[in-house]
Amino acid sequence: MKKTGAQLAVYALEQIGISHTFGIPGVHNTELYDVLNSSKTITPVLVTHEGGGAFMADAISRTSSNTGCLVIVPAAGMTHAMSGIGEAYLAGIPMLVISGGIRTDTGRVYQLHDLDQHKVLSGITKKSWKVESHKEIIPIIYEAYKTAISGEPGPVFVEIPVNIQLFRGEINEMPVFNYNRELPEPDEDMIELAAKLLANAKQPGIFAGWGAADATDKLIQIAELLEAPVATTLQGLSVFPGNHPLHTGMGIGEYAVPASEKAFEGCDCLLAIGTRFGEIPTGSFGMKVPDKLIHIDINPAVFNKNYPSACTIQGDSRDILTKLLQIMERPVSAGARSGNIREIIKTAKQEYREEWEAASIDDKVNPWLFFKELRNLLHDDAIVSVDDGNHTFLTAELFEVRTSRHLISPTDFNCMGYCVPAAIGAKIANPEKQVVGIAGDGAFLMTGMELITAAATGCGVVIFVFNDGELAQISQGQQIPYNRKVCTSLGKVQIEGMAIATGSRYIRIENNENLKEKMDEALRYAGQNEPVIADVNIDYSKKSRFTKGIVKTNLGRFPLSEKVRFITRALKRKFTG
């Protein structure tokens, strides 16, 4: 039989269960888009920028059982999408990128978009393929998809030259996709060792990352069995319910919230699940880890990198925790510290919230009161998307996430501009759920125009823009050691103008008094399938524990002479201007 390459590619995407594609049509993929338009199961979505499309695809993968997919033009489309591809790569998020390619049947060079895409993408994809014949299209897309979801997931890239898309070619069959994902069999001896270490520990603790996102019920069981406090990474904030009495917060140590710092004092055995101990969740590697570290991860390459382990177990977190629970017989600890660990956490959380509330001022919105009201207004299964910035760590410290995979954030790649398109992608994947985004004004300026996509597709999302006129996280990071701010002032941005330009509702939240009323109004409009920009006059005068903690940690590592120089310079500027 004869089929065009575009027909074969769309058939393969339908077979693997792709629900939406994101991208912009161009001369090298118009045939793909024409066939996608006829698909009964795939909806192509036009975006304003391929980077935004990549973040939408990322959110599809994070918040649903589907895998996010891009259909882009080569060269410029690929480089625009690289921010989202890189985010997915470092975060372990599956993504399938289908790109057009230059013609391979003319013998011509210096064609439009003539670029070695595979060389450019080699460092941020698990693997890439270039199709050379019609017969390769279906097998390559199947193989690419399997690669994307296997082991530690990640993005993959398939280039289909435009001539192969456009023209028909002879193929023998159109195979049905069939794949049973095989997980590595965990080492039973290592599981036995982990059980022994935990049973003998006096003050065990748990540190969970995104790799535990599908093992929440097992995490709860093991935490309750051990009566152990549970801290998470930034990306893994949702994997353990924030309203559970053993939940502490993000990270462990001086950069973490008081509940986490106090609950993990004296921790002599740490069970770490699905985390790489990267820079952000460890507070610039200021986190103290006990010698008895049990590290579980699907990717063995992460073991013993930043912190040595006493026990490493490769495999699926849910599978390993299930087996660990089966052999553990330790009762709940009766020790003095473990006996009141829940009260320690509860008291520390309440005191920290009161500390924030006491910092309220009349003419701006207090972050704690904002997150308190947001939690009250949202359903437990609402999805929250955040960006990179000061608001990210305030969310981590002050917002209670209750459902796994329902808070998504840029992490190790840490790319600004994630929030708005990710919120749209999450809403597309979960149309029945409330979806809100929280972005700093600087991050919002990067991809806020993507709300045109939300308006065009009827995505009722609310984007809360924390508006302070600065790149606040860096601004605060400058102010502490330098006593001066450089290139972090955004100037006066008319957020309402962006609402008008994108067809979104605009709501201004001026202070704490009208907080509930305005937030409720925003959510009502979103419930009517309208995108909403809520312009929040945020008070950033009080710094997060994370900001203060990492500045202290990094400054503490400076050589003494450089430390003195930095402190002296800051003091001099403070008193002399």
Cα distance between residue 560 and residue 89, in whole Å: 38
Q: Counting beta carbons within 10 angstroms of the beta carbon of residue 176, is it exposed (0 to 12), middle (13 to 18) or buried (19 or more)?
A: exposed
Lowest-confidence region among 108-112, 455-459, 560-564? 560-564
Q: Is residue 333 predicted with pLDDT exceeding 50?
A: no
Percentage helix, strand, coil, to 5, in the chain?
Answer: 45, 15, 40
Please state the rounded mean pLDDT for residues 72-100: 98
Confidence of residue 335 (pLDDT cuts 50, 70, 90): very low
Percentage of the chain lying above the pLDDT 90 cut: 85
Confidence of residue 567 (pLDDT cuts 50, 70, 90): confident
Best CA proximity match to 475, nearest among 491, 492, 493, 487: 487
| Segment 343-357, tens digit of pLDDT | 999 999 999 999 999
For the chain, what is the largest distance between any 2 Cα atoms, rounded to a whole number of angstroms? Answer: 81
Query: Residue 291's CB: how many other CB atoms inside 10 A?
Result: 11
Q: Residue written as tokens 């995104």? A: 210
The pairing of strands 168-170 and 155-161 is: unpaired
Q: Is residue 361 predicted with pLDDT exceeding 90?
A: yes
Going by C-beta distance under 8 Å and a sequence separation of 6 or more, which residues neighbour residue 273? 206, 207, 208, 209, 211, 212, 215, 219, 296, 297, 317, 320, 321
Distances (CA, A) of 226 to 197, 343, 450: 12, 16, 46
Q: What pLDDT is attached to residue 107?
A: 87
CB 344, CB 263: distance < 8 Å? yes
Give the torsion through C-alpha atoms of 109, 110, 113, 114, to 10 deg: 50
Percentage of the chain lying above the pLDDT 70 cut: 98
Q: What pLDDT is attached to residue 573?
A: 81
571/72: higher pLDDT: 72
Residues 187-195: contacts with CB within 8 Å, 24+ apart?
A: 187/313, 187/314, 188/323, 190/311, 190/312, 190/313, 191/313, 191/320, 191/323, 191/324, 191/327, 192/327, 193/310, 193/311, 194/271, 194/294, 194/296, 194/311, 194/313, 194/324, 195/324, 195/327, 195/328
Q: Is residue 469 predicted with pLDDT exceeding 90?
A: no
Cα distance between residue 356 and residue 393, in whole Å: 14
543/375: higher pLDDT: 375
Q: Is residue 334 predicted with pLDDT exceeding 50?
A: no
Q: Is residue 331 predicted with pLDDT exceeding 60?
A: no
- SS3 string, 315-359, reads CCHHHHHHHHHHHCCCCCCCCHHHHCHHHHHHHHHHHHHHHHHHC
What is the Cα 34 distance to its own chain's centre? 32
Please state the rounded mean pLDDT for residues 353-364: 95
Q: Is residue 448 predicted with pLDDT exceeding 80?
A: yes
Confidence of residue 375 (pLDDT cuts 50, 70, 90): very high
Please state the rounded mean pLDDT for residues 216-240: 97
Going by C-beta distance under 8 Å and a sequence separation of 6 or more, which residues neighbour residue 445? 490, 493
| Segment 154-180, tens digit of pLDDT | 999 999 999 999 999 999 999 999 998
Q: What pLDDT is attached to residue 565?
A: 86
Q: What does the buried/exposed string (b/e) look like for 428-444 if buried means 16 or more CB atoms within 10 Å of the residue's CB? A: bbbeebbbbbbbbbbbb
Q: Is residue 131 predicted with pLDDT exceeding 50?
A: yes
Confidence of residue 577 (pLDDT cuts 50, 70, 90): low
Averaged confidence pLDDT in the chain: 94
Cα distance between residue 144 and residue 128, in whole Å: 8
| Segment 307-326, tens digit of pLDDT | 999 999 999 999 999 999 99
Q: What pLDDT is attached to residue 541?
A: 92
Confidence of residue 555 (pLDDT cuts 50, 70, 90): confident
What domains are there in the chain, each with its CATH number? 2-170 (3.40.50.970), 188-344 (3.40.50.1220), 359-546 (3.40.50.970)
Going by C-beta distance under 8 Å and a sequence separation of 6 or more, which residues neighbour residue 46? 23, 24, 25, 453, 456
| Segment 480-492, tens digit of pLDDT | 777 777 887 788 8
Cα distance between residue 239 and residue 231, in whole Å: 10
Q: Is residue 339 predicted with pLDDT exceeding 70?
A: no
